[in-house]
Amino acid sequence: MTKLKDYSIILFVCLLTISLQAQHKVSGTVTTTNTGLPIKSVEVYDKNWQQLAVTNTEGYFEFTTDKEKLTIVFLSYDYSLAEQTITVTEDVVLNQQLQLYAKELSEVEINARRRKAFELRRLKDVEGTAIYAGKKTEVVLVEQSMANLASNNARQIYSQVAGLNIYQNDDAGLQLNIGGRGLDPNRTANFNTRQNGYDISADVLGYPESYYSPASEALQEVQIIRGAASLQYGTQFGGLVNFIMKKPNPNKPLEIVARNTIGSNSLYTNFTSVSGTHKNWSYYSYFNYKKGDGFRPNSEFESKNVYAHIGYTFNEKTKLTGEVTYLRYLAQQAGGLNDQMFQNDPFQSNRERNWFQVDWLLYNMQFSHKFSDKTNFTFNAFGLNASRYALGFRTNRVDQVDSLAERDLIKGEFNNFGFETRVLHKYNLLGKKAVGLLGFKFYKADNTNQQGPGSDGRGADFDFQLDNYPNYPNQSDYTYPNLNLAMFGENIVYLSDKLSVTPGFRLEHIKTESEGFFKRINTDAAGNVILNETVNDSEVRERSFVLLGLGTSYKPTKAVEVYGNISQNYRSVTFTDISIINPAFAISPDIDDEKGFTVDVGLRGNYNNKIAYDVSAFSLFYNDRIGFVQRAFPDGSVKSERGNVGDAVMYGIESLIDFNVKEFFTSSRNYSFNYFINTSFISSEYTKSEENGVEGNKVEFIPDVNIKTGIRFGYKDLLGSIQYTYLSQQFTDATNAVDGNLSGVIGEIPAYDVMDVSLSYTYKLFKLEAGINNVLNNYYFTRRATGYPGPGIIPSPDRNFYTTLQIKF
């Protein structure tokens, strides 16, 4: 611990010893021309349409700049656009009046006025109480997306996020499964997943899987920060996924949006939201209902999701918000297939008694206060009370007919709470300025997991039947008390108006525990019980360490930025994976934590609003990577074993280029036309392993080629998009097995391609959306599940359609 303190002191001194050039403040008030009343939520841009500020409830805005000449644009949905050109040699007060816009704008006109010709943006150096300078950031503007939002179609929503590998195994979007750079996409477990800045996964340390994903129809944007996010948001290799919900309508006391969707396989969804602002109060709430039969037999589902946000603005400096989210869904699971079953009929199912139920309750309170123009403070308290129940017939041979005996039942309860506090300060040193961030996080979890016999019926009965089946072999009962304390800090150092350096650190203390028992039950050849004993099992792992990182950014022109970042990563072993008995694989008794670091170097920018681009190279160095190998056991069986396979390196080039083609030919606001191409070319290798036949192999979950490309077009109120996706083949275990095993867990995921088409038309209060996903009707799969909803191959949806009618008033 002495070394850790020394590291922290040295780094803190470094953060305070470097500064940036002085800037000037531009501030003012925006009011109406006819009444002189202030206008809230007016967006203030420079002439290149980079957002500088947004007016508050008093119509006030402010920002700082080191530029001498600025053309400022004022933009609001309900008021006419205005612009002013100013000279900034000292602090400037800039007031502006806007005239009420008489005509209701169409969607195309709104997008043209906002100049958001691209569906992706980058985070600014500083936003709120967070620092993003020198990091690889991607922000999906969901409100502008042409994706199938009703079913959370991740392939479309994240089409411009480079290098993502996505599991596509249901047609309702009940869960989000995204990974990348060799990280398992399963329930987005290798990212720190947040909603409006607070954790939403089951247990950030012990079980970082996200069974809840917010309704895409309620999202304003999704922020994605790659590996460098470990400094501010956790230790994970993937980085951060932060879902930003829509904000309350600032100009109306009541706004209602109702969306109804019908689609293939009896799909029906309803999304209804209400929002508004009255004096100092604001609110946004929605209800989302989904029901369908699924694209395979035995895959019906029903989902209900409620969200409520309420905010109170004390004054322009102080605000308090509260949020509650509840999700409940029940889904029948058709089970997995082996390779032969998939080839015979990819949509067959021999499991009709498998069920999955999720209850997810999230709550959050955030207090933000601006002490001065230089100092911002946020306090974010959050909690989770949730459960995940899985029931079904599971066996290592997925082609085996259901015996109709008692089913395997796993019940997980997740209870955690915590808070995170941040202070961002702009300070003067030797006549210059710098931006520093210091934060602290407390996180406490007390989770349980039980496994045992379920009923022998067909329905979703989630009660244990221990009295009826005392000799059921898979029995365990564990509690997982986990504690996490973290302190983190970053500092932007502007060496000039073009060059910045951002060092950072995270001091982490993790204590993970497991306490409980499992049953060891053996039978003879006739099925008679010859051993039934209870084995008590407990373990405590406590560690403290420092993660360091360094980012840099060079902006020679407004259209070009060169950035780079290096950051250490860490992922603790999840006790819940260790203690669940799974017939499809075994757990190595020596499994341990994973360590490594990520490097990103890239070039990005926006050229005259005609071309947006981000081309980068990365390397991910992974020590003690956890994965699967096939192993022979003393009883003569051959199973997959999960453990520390070895050290690996992944490296590649990721790029996104989006052409605003319309700008090359016409400035008319009636038209829009974009072409984008998103590519990822990745190589990987196990550089060291004690396992036979692993060293030199490729790393699993990495397609060498990952391409997403498409066009978006519009004329007045008619919008459309066509998207094509291609991924080359990838492995699912460290031995690079091509042929699948009996359980379907191990084997190759073949190359696949998918095409999607979407259209929308807006008329006054109404909007009609329609589309076809998987237009080519390709039969493919993206996942070999190790547990539920498998085990085995989980097919992806065939061709399906959807139609949505939206009414907004």
Planar angle of CA 294, 295, 299, nearest 5 degrees = 40
pLDDT tens digit string along 692-706?
A: 899 999 999 999 999
Residues 6+ apart with CB under 8 A from 216: 142, 147, 149, 150, 152, 157, 173
- Residue 114 host element (H or E): helix 107-114
Structure tokens at 273: 């939201």
CA-based nearest residue to 568, from 547, 550, 552, 551: 547
Residue 67 confidence (pLDDT) = 80
Residue 156 confidence (pLDDT) = 97
Task: Identify the weakest region by mean pLDDT among 95-99, 483-487, 750-754, 768-772.
Answer: 95-99
What is the C-alpha separation between 33 and 58, in angstroms, rounded?
15
Contact 333, 787 (CB under 8 A): no
First-to-last C-alpha distance (Å) of the chain:
59
Kindly state the percentage of the chain with pLDDT values over 70: 93
Give the three-class secondary structure for 511: strand
State mean pLDDT over 763-767. 93
Residue 428 confidence (pLDDT) = 79
Give the three-class secondary structure for 112: helix
State mean pLDDT over 460-484. 94
Kindly state the percentage of the chain with pLDDT values over 90: 70
Task: Give the burial class of 536: count Cβ atoms within 10 A of its Cβ; 0-12 exposed, 13-18 middle, 19 or more buried.
Answer: exposed
State mean pLDDT over 412-423. 97
Contact 120, 656 (CB under 8 A): yes
Residue 670 confidence (pLDDT) = 85
| One-letter amino acid of 348 | Q
pLDDT tens digit string along 723-759?
A: 999 999 999 999 999 998 888 999 999 999 999 999 9
Residues 6+ apart with CB under 8 A from 229: 135, 192, 236, 239, 240
CA 106 from chain centre, in angstroms, equals: 31
Residue 289 confidence (pLDDT) = 98
Q: Band the pLDDT of 82: cuts 50, 70, 90.
A: confident
- Secondary structure letter of residue 68 according to DSSP: S
> Is the predicted pLDDT of residue 657 greater than 90, yes or no?
yes
Q: How far is CA 766 from CA 101, 257, 541, 717, 808, in A?
A: 20, 10, 57, 11, 7
Residue 1 confidence (pLDDT) = 43
Task: Identify the weakest region by mean pLDDT among 79-83, 243-247, 554-558.
Answer: 79-83
pLDDT tens digit string along 595-636?
A: 999 999 999 999 988 999 999 999 999 999 998 887 776 666
The pLDDT mean for the chain works out to 90
Q: What are phi and psi of 11, to 5 degrees?
A: -65, -40
> Is the predicted pLDDT of residue 689 greater than 60, yes or no?
yes
Residue 49 confidence (pLDDT) = 63
State mean pLDDT over 468-473. 92
pLDDT tens digit string along 2-49?
A: 444 444 444 443 433 333 345 788 999 999 887 788 888 888 988 766
Residues 6+ apart with CB under 8 A from 573: 512, 541, 591, 592, 593, 626
Q: What are phi and psi of 399, to 5 degrees?
A: -85, -5
State mean pLDDT over 401-419. 96
State mean pLDDT over 502-512. 95
Q: What count of Cα atoms within 13 Å lies in the side-chain half-sphere of residue 388?
A: 19
